[in-house]
Amino acid sequence: MSAGRHDSLSNMNIPPAPRWGLPKHDFWSTPFAESLLLHLDLRSGLRILDIASGHGIPAFYLAEQVGPTGEILAIDLSAGQVARAKAIQGAQLPRLRFECMDMRSLPPDLPLFDRITGNLSVMFFRPDRFQAVQGLVTHLAPGGQIVLTFPSYGTFDSLWQRVDTAMIQQGLLKERERFQAYLYERPSAQEGQTWLEKLDLERIGAIEYPLEVKTGPGQEFLYHPLLRGGFLDDVYECFEDERRAEEFMVKLSEDVQSFTPLIAQRCVLSGWKKN
């Protein structure tokens, strides 16, 4: 048999790529979803609850993988996100359903799920994160797995240290007090692991994967799509005077080299409910 003929036959055994892969253009949700999938026991026929589903990362991918005998219920508190996901879905993947629902107070009549997933979800569990996880686990079937991802304590530490130093130097005592409260409120991988231990889950893991977020100085930093509308806004909110906040951040943006590289910690929290 010729080499070309052998290669052709080998290629025939390679399954086609899923129609609903993780989008390459999403530089935040997709890397976290990739971390989630590293730890999720995924196969056909599963019933999965995907919380904080946003516009469908990784709900569409999960629906592709569970096949026609599986079922995905993807929920988000934002009606706009749910509408966007439904628009993307159209009439495809009937086994996937998007609903507007608060994951912190799920209806008691929901069925049990084989898997519960939540990409970038833990930050939305406030004010009582443990209680939110506890509520989710009540909807997990015996022998089922829960997998959650979140940017854990340590994410962008170099930036936060620079912000803290600048606040001290400029005598921004009230702003620094608010800033410190924000920092201490962020969950760590160890804290997440403790939640699952208290719930008596087994095969628990809390694993972190570093992710570098690249940026330049000035406007590139201040309006970076992975920083503004989230992490940087937390600094702005420490100020009562918006103009002073802007002055502080503009000055900080000119000193990007002092706190780059910016490293996010992608934490994957995984555990199994006992049979």
pLDDT in tens, 204-247: 999 999 999 999 999 999 999 889 888 999 999 999 999 999 99
Q: Give residue 98's pLDDT.
A: 98
Question: Is 242 found in the same domain as 163?
Answer: yes
Q: Give residue 10's pLDDT.
A: 41
Task: Report the length, in residues, of the chain.
Answer: 275
Contact criterion met (CB below 8 Å) for 145 and 271:
yes
Alpha carbons 199 and 216: distance in angstroms, whole number: 43
Write down the mean pLDDT value for the chain. 92
Alpha carbons 253 and 192: distance in angstroms, whole number: 32
CATH number of the CATH domain containing 72: 3.40.50.150
Burial 22-37 (b: 16+ CB within 10 A, else e): bbeebebbbbbbbbbb
Question: Is 38 found in the same domain as 139?
Answer: yes
* Residue 228 is assigned to a structural domain of this protein: yes
* Residue 32 is assigned to a structural domain of this protein: yes
For residue 45, is pLDDT > 80? yes
233 SS3 class: helix
- Rounded to an integer, the average pLDDT of 43-67 is 96
Nearest alpha-carbon partner for 115 in 59, 31, 54:
59
Q: Give residue 238's pLDDT.
A: 96
Question: Is 28 found in the same domain as 148?
Answer: yes
Query: What does the DSSP 8-state code read for residue 107?
Result: -
Question: Is 34 found in the same domain as 131?
Answer: yes
Question: Is 101 found in the same domain as 117?
Answer: yes
Q: Give residue 203's pLDDT.
A: 98
Q: Give residue 18's pLDDT.
A: 55
Question: Is 219 found in the same domain as 207?
Answer: no
Task: Please name the residue that has the structure tokens 């719930």.
Answer: 199
* Residue 102 is assigned to a structural domain of this protein: yes
* Residue 11 is assigned to a structural domain of this protein: no
Question: Is 92 found in the same domain as 139?
Answer: yes
How many Å separate Cα 144 from the centre of its chain? 20
Question: Is 160 found in the same domain as 52?
Answer: no
| pLDDT digit string, tens, across residues 86-126 | 999 999 999 999 999 999 999 989 999 999 999 999 988 98
154 SS3 class: coil
Query: What does the DSSP 8-state code read for residue 19?
Result: T
* Residue 3 is assigned to a structural domain of this protein: no
- Rounded to an integer, the average pLDDT of 262-275 is 97
Confidence of residue 11 (pLDDT cuts 50, 70, 90): very low
Question: Is 71 found in the same domain as 158?
Answer: no
Question: How, if at all, do strands 140-151 and 113-118 pair?
Answer: parallel
Detail the DSSP E strand segments found in 66-215.
71-76, 96-100, 113-118, 140-151, 202-213
Alpha carbons 222 and 128: distance in angstroms, whole number: 31
Structural domain count, the chain: 2
Give me the domain span that covers residue 131.
Answer: 19-152+187-212+266-275
Entry pTM: 0.88
* Residue 6 is assigned to a structural domain of this protein: no
Percentage, residues of the chain above pLDDT 90: 85
Q: Is 45 left (phi over 0), alpha (psi -120 to 50) or beta?
A: left
Question: Is 129 found in the same domain as 110?
Answer: yes
Q: At what angle do helices 79-89 and 59-66 cross, to 10 degrees?
A: 50
Alpha carbons 77 and 100: distance in angstroms, whole number: 5
* Residue 199 is assigned to a structural domain of this protein: yes
| pLDDT digit string, tens, across residues 154-198 | 999 999 999 999 999 999 999 999 999 988 888 999 999 999 999
Question: Is 179 found in the same domain as 113?
Answer: no
Within 8 A by CB and 6+ apart from 150, the residues are 32, 120, 121, 122, 123, 187, 192, 267, 269
Alpha carbons 176 and 195: distance in angstroms, whole number: 29
Question: Is 101 found in the same domain as 200?
Answer: yes
* Residue 196 is assigned to a structural domain of this protein: yes
For residue 1, is pLDDT > 50? no
